[in-house]
Structure formats: C-alpha cells, structure tokens
Amino acid sequence: MRSGERLRRRIIAAGVVLVAAFAGSAVYDGWRLHRQIMIANERELGNLARALAEQGARTLQAVDVLLRDTSEWWETTGRDLPADAVAVGLASRVVGVSQVSVLTVVDAEGRQRHRSRVTGEPLADVSDRPYFLSQRARASGGLYINEPVVTRTERLPALVVSRRLNTREGVFEGVVTAIVTLQEIQAAYTAIDLGEGGALILTLDDGTLVVRQPEVVGLDPNQRYPELPAFKGAPLIDRSVSPVDGRTKLIAAVGVGKRPLTLTLTRDEDHALRPWHDEMRSATIRTLLLTALVVLTIAGLLRQLRRLEAGEADKAALEARLQKAERLESLGTLAGGIAHDFNNILGAILGFGEMAQQHAAPGSDMRRYIDRVMQAGARARVLVRRILDFSRSGVAERVPVHIQAVTEEAIAMLRPTLPEAIRFEAKLDAGSSAVLGDGTQLYQVVMNLCTNAAQAIGDAGTIEVLLDRVHSDEPKPRMHGELAAGAYVRLVVSDDGPGMSAEVLQRAFDPFFTTKKVGEGTGLGLSMVHGIVTDLGGAIDISTAPGHGTQVTVWLPVSGEFEAPFSPPDATWPRGNGQVVMVIDDERPLVELAEELLAELGYEPVGFDSSERALEAFIAEPQRFDAVLTDEMLPDLAGSELAARLQTLRPDLPVILVSGNVSAALEQRAREAGVVELLRKPLGLQELAESLARNFNSD
C-alpha cells in the first residue's frame, strides 16, 4: 500500500510539473508577443503621424506662400490699383490653391476692403478678431492661424490664416487673410484607415479641435483637447483614456512643422492587441487541452492502480451481485411455482364452489355464503393473473376489445365486494368503441383503478367512473405519456378520499410502492396500469390534492368499432349429449372437479392423473373418446406432447389444453401439436361448456 501511495504521488507531481512548465512557457510567449505587438503598433503610429504631419505642413505651406505672395504684391502694386483690379488680382492668386476658399484684405482700421470673391456684405469691423489684434501687435508679422470659425455664406467650419500688411515705411497697414475650409483639410485624411476605434485629431496649440477623422456625430466642433498639448519634434507615444468613448488608446502626437498645430493619431488598445488576444486565447485552449489530457492520463493511471489494488474487492462484489441475481431468479421461479400451484388449488375451490352455488337454493343463507366465497375466489384469481402479467410470464394478445363491456364486467365484479356505505356511480358512454389490446389486461386496468379508489375511501364515500369517447386535435403532453392527434376512449375514475401528497404522487407508479400497511397492498396495481396503458399507446393523468380526493384519467387509442359479445344467461349454457371426454391432470382434486363439471353439463368424463396412463387407455380404445381436456404441466408427459401423440393416432380428435401460465411459447407448441383451444386456469363452468360446445358443433 505504501509503495502504491508513493507511486500515485509521483504520478500526480509529474503531471503538475508538466502542466506548470507548459503554462509558464505559454505565459512567457504571451508576454513576448504582447511586447512585440505594442512596439510594432507604436512604430506604425509614429511613422504614420510623422508622414501625415508633414503632409499637413505642406498644405499650410502652400497657404503661407499664397499669403506671402499676396502681401508682397499688395505692398508693391496692389494698394495703388482700383478696387476691381485688386479683386481680380486676389482671385487669380486663389486659383492655384484649392484649400483657400476666400482671400481678403483688411485695412488698418479693421474694415474688409477687398475679396477674391463676393461672399455677402463686407465685414465692417474685424478689429476685435484675434488674428487682427495679433497681427497689429506683432511688428515682425508672420503667419497666424485663428481658431475655427463658420463661414457666413457656406456655413462651413474654416480656419482664418493671416499675415500682416505694412506700408513702405513699415507701419501697420492691415491684414491679408485666407479662409481655409476644414473640409479641404479633412479630405486629405479620409483615405487613412486607423482601424476600429482609431482616430486622427488635428488641434491648435491650445487644444482647440481643427479636424477629427472620422467625424463623431454630435461632437462640438469647437471642443478643446487640453490633454493633447502642442508638441514639436519626434512623435510622442503614450497610452491614455479617450475623453470621447472612454476606451484606452495608443496615442502618437507630433507637431505640424513649425505651425501652431499638433496632429494626434489614436488607436484602440484592444484593436491593436487583437492578434495578441487571439494568440492568448489559442494558448489558453492549448493549455487547457493539455491539462485535460494530463489529468485524464493521471486519472487513468490512478484508476488502473486502484483496479489492481482493489481486484479482490471487485471480484467479491461481482460474486455478491451474482448471488443476488441468482436469489432474485430463484425468487421469481418460486413465485411462478407458487402462483401455478395456487392456481390449481384455486381452480378446485372455484369449480366446486360454482357447483355448490348452482345447487344452493336462491335466497338461502347457504347461497349467500357460497356467493361470498366465489367473490373472494374471483379476487384471488385476479391477483394470480396480476402477478403473472406483471412478471411478463403471460401473453398479451392484441385483438379488438369492446372497452365498455370490459368496464361493465369489472364494475359488476367489484360492486358486490364493497361496503354498503360506498356509493358507486358509473356513466358509461363509449358506445361500440374498440381498443386494440388484451381483454384481461384492460379488465385489470379498470379493476385496479376502482380497487385503489375503494381502498382510498375506506368504509364510506363515492366512486365515480366515467367512460366516453373524445378526440384530440393536436398532440398533448400528459403526466405519463403524450396523446397524438386522434380518437381516444377516456376512462376517468374519481374518489372523494383523502387525496395524495406531492411525494406520494411522484412515486405512485413505482413498482412495489404502497402507502398501505404491511399485508394490505402489493404496490403492483398502478405500476401494472402504467405498463399496460403505455404498451397500448395511451396516456395517464392524475389530479389530486390532500383532502380533495383523487381523479385518475386514462386515454386509450380507439382502433375502430366492435359490438359487445353476447353472454347467454346461466340457464342456457350449452350442454352435451353424453359424449365421452378424457380428463388429464396431475392434481386429483382438479380431475374430480372436471369430472363433476362435465357430468353436470351432460358429458361422460373419464379422468386420469397421469398422462402415461391416459395415453395407454387411448391406445387401447382410440374410438371411445370424443374429446380430450388436458393440463399442460404434467410430470411425465406435457399436455402439448400428449396432444401431439393423440393427434397422430386420431387426427380428428379435438384436444383442449389448459394451463395457469399461458405464454407465447405455449401457444406456439399448442398450435404445432394440433390443439383446438387453449384455456386459462382456473376453469369456470360457463367457459368449459362454451369451449366444448364450439368444438363439438364444429364437427
């Protein structure tokens, strides 16, 4: 055990080390890839920002050249020309610079004197404008870029770029301005794709927004970005949270030449790191898969060790399960044998009881006592059949069954056995509806439901039985099973008993589950109902609540129409005319019973308690016997084998086989042996009379 424990620890430790090494390698690779991606993005943004800044500087350089040329032209020639000639000269200079919308000349008092094109009434006074004040105060002149304004005519955002005008003596004479629309500047950047969440921002040195690409709907065009200060020299690479969408950005800022402008490029950090996220996701999956593989391998090795160590224990457990299975099989065999033997005893009780019932005077105490005996015997016969059917040792023949006739028979059988204080209300309105199934099983369904209702009520109460025909237009789920669309016979059994709790309802159909005291219930009733109904393609619902009674509803599919079989009254049972009937059964009381029944019906019975002696008697006088009634379970020669031998001697001889355990295999053997009819024990007088009459009349 100690060596096995040490081996298990070593296996687990090796697996942990392997997983840790792989995970550590994945983490290191992820860190290195993250660094490489960040460096690549910073380099890309920096290079792109520098290139775009140079492009912007060239754009402003063209405007500055225009203003310088205009200033020199004005100081040398333009001031002496008439107004129309000045306008023409200004217009001719603007033609080559597409960025400039309007070129204007303002005098020293701030009045707009000349324009390259008419854009409305000239401005009477611009002396308070920042660009005018700045140029007037700066003797050296130079280019001045005013913050964005909105043009009067086109109503477009634009920059006012200006230069100082001086007299020949160097005195301030006014300002020459160029109106540069932001659309022209922005058009130069529309082809730039900065990726998801990326942006290009052009600002003045004080953070005033000039251009943003792509544009943001609802963003103030005069918004300031004080967090993006003027920056000159090499690109500044940083990380920051965007004030627009609150996402972390990679930022590259660079000055636009020597102009008071800063160009800033931003890119979503998540977008930039998307390849890293994909790789880390893949690495995580690989790590998890490897971990799972290692864990499974370790688990397999440990399981194998446990199997080796617990081999003897497993062997002992298998032997215990085998012994348990053998005990269960023996128990099943014992139960079948007991049921068969009890069936023979019950047959004698019911047979002689039926004869005594026929001879007892109607209305006498003796007749009443015998009636009670017969009722109890009938319940015992149903119990035996229930045990055989539940163990599936019986055969369920599928034939059209008149369900209303079966229900009436079950109610008629049950009603006399109930206390007088229990009221039985039946409303049967299924007509000639037939169900494809086994009549005995359907009888048990009705009997079990009614018996359970009676037991739930106790000594007093009401049982209601409803039988009608309904149609389902669409599939409907039920508590047990689902109804397909079609016609159904609905059986509803209700009682006003105490009802069932949720726990009892959940286990109501479990085999051998019962709420009754020991000896008062087997727990087979509802489980058998469930098995039969499900096998027939039906469904079951239960509606119950503590203190409100129980209602069980059964739906059975309708297979067509079938008229109820006619049962003649007792007085008209068919009788014999002295025909000789051979009777074989290993139970002497059953032989005597059959002889009494046959004699009562007008036949001449000849009984044998051994199949061998019966065969010898038949061989000696084969023409003496008109029919044979034999049990299947005989010790020396089975009834079906005896029938086969008799048929070889007299092929026209009707042989009726009787058994308490009718199965599909027995039916097959009976057909092969030439048996004309197979009856189930215990036999009733009416059943025996009708069987013999059918076979003799067929001759």
Any domain includes 414? yes
For the stretch 389-418, pLDDT in tens is 555 444 455 778 888 888 888 888 777 777
Q: Residue 40 has what pLDDT?
A: 80
| pLDDT per position as a tens digit, 64-91 | 888 888 888 888 888 888 888 888 888 8
pLDDT in tens, 550-576: 888 988 898 878 765 544 444 467 888
Q: Which of 25-29, 360-364, 632-636, 638-642 has the highest mean pLDDT?
A: 638-642
Entry pTM: 0.38
When pLDDT is cut at 50, 70 and 90, the band that residue 582 belongs to is very high
The tally of domains found in the chain comes to 2
In a domain, 673, yes or no: yes
Q: Is 335 exposed, middle or buried (CB count within 10 Å of its CB: 0-12, 13-18, 19+)?
A: middle
Would you say residue 514 lies in a domain?
Answer: yes
Q: Give the domain-ending residue among 504, 537, 561.
A: 561
522 shares its domain with 671: no
User: What percent of the chain is predicted at pLDDT more than 90?
Assistant: 5
410 and 549 fall within a common domain? yes
Helix (H, G, I), strand (E, B), or coil: what is residue 333?
Answer: helix
Indicate whether 610 and 463 sit together in one domain.
Answer: no
Phi–psi pair at 509, nearest 5 degrees: -100, 5
**Cβ(67)–Cβ(178) under 8 Å?**
yes
Instruction: Give the tens place of pLDDT for each residue, 107-137.
Output: 888 888 888 888 777 777 888 888 788 878 8
539 with 581, same domain: the answer is no
Identify the residue whose tokens are 């082809």.
191
Of 528, 561, 594, the residue at which a domain comes to its end is: 561
Q: What is the pLDDT of residue 514?
A: 59
More confident residue, 626 or 636: 626
For the domain that residue 613 is a member of, what is the CATH number? 3.40.50.2300
Q: Name the average pLDDT for the chain.
A: 77
541 and 575 part of one domain: no
Q: Say whether both 479 and 506 belong to one domain.
A: yes
Same domain, 628 and 522: no
Q: Look at residue 395 in the predicted model and tell me its pLDDT.
A: 46
Alpha carbons 270 and 200: distance in angstroms, whole number: 17
What value does the mean pLDDT take over residues 292-296?
Answer: 85
Burial-class residue 142 by CB neighbours within 10 Å (0-12, 13-18, 19+).
Answer: exposed
Asked if 594 and 667 sit in the same domain, the reply is: yes
In a domain, 540, yes or no: yes
Statement to judge: residues 542 and 417 lie in one domain: yes
Residue 55 lies inside a defined structural domain of this protein: no
Segment 181-200, tens digit of pLDDT: 776 666 666 666 666 667 77
Whether 224 shows a pLDDT value over 70: the answer reads no
584 is a domain residue: yes
* pLDDT at residue 531, rounded to an integer: 76
Range of the domain at 581: 570-698
Separation between Cα atoms, residue 87 and residue 433, nearest integer Å: 109
Domain match, 578 and 526 both? no
CA distance 358 to 352: 10
The DSSP output letter for 115 is E
**Which string of DSSP letters, residue by residue, matches 21-37?**
HHHHHHHHHHHHHHHHH
| CATH code of residue 413 | 3.30.565.10
Q: What is the pLDDT of residue 442?
A: 83
> Once rounded to an integer, what is the mean pLDDT over residues 302-318?
70
Cα–Cα separations (whole angstroms), residue 596 to 592, 599, 632: 6, 5, 20
Tokens of 675: 């048996």
Does 295 reside within a domain? no
Answer with the one of 561, 594, 622 that is the final residue of a domain: 561
pLDDT at 329: 53
Within the chain, how many helices (H) and strands (E) appear? 17, 26
Task: Note whether residue 299 is domain-resident.
Answer: no
- Rounded to an integer, what distance in angstroms lies between the CA atom of residue 50 and that of residue 56? 10
If asked whether residues 412 and 554 sit together in one domain, one would say yes
499 pLDDT tier (thresholds 50, 70, 90): confident
The answer on 591 and 557 residing in a single domain is no
275 to 46, 269, 281, 288: CA distances (angstroms) = 20, 11, 10, 20
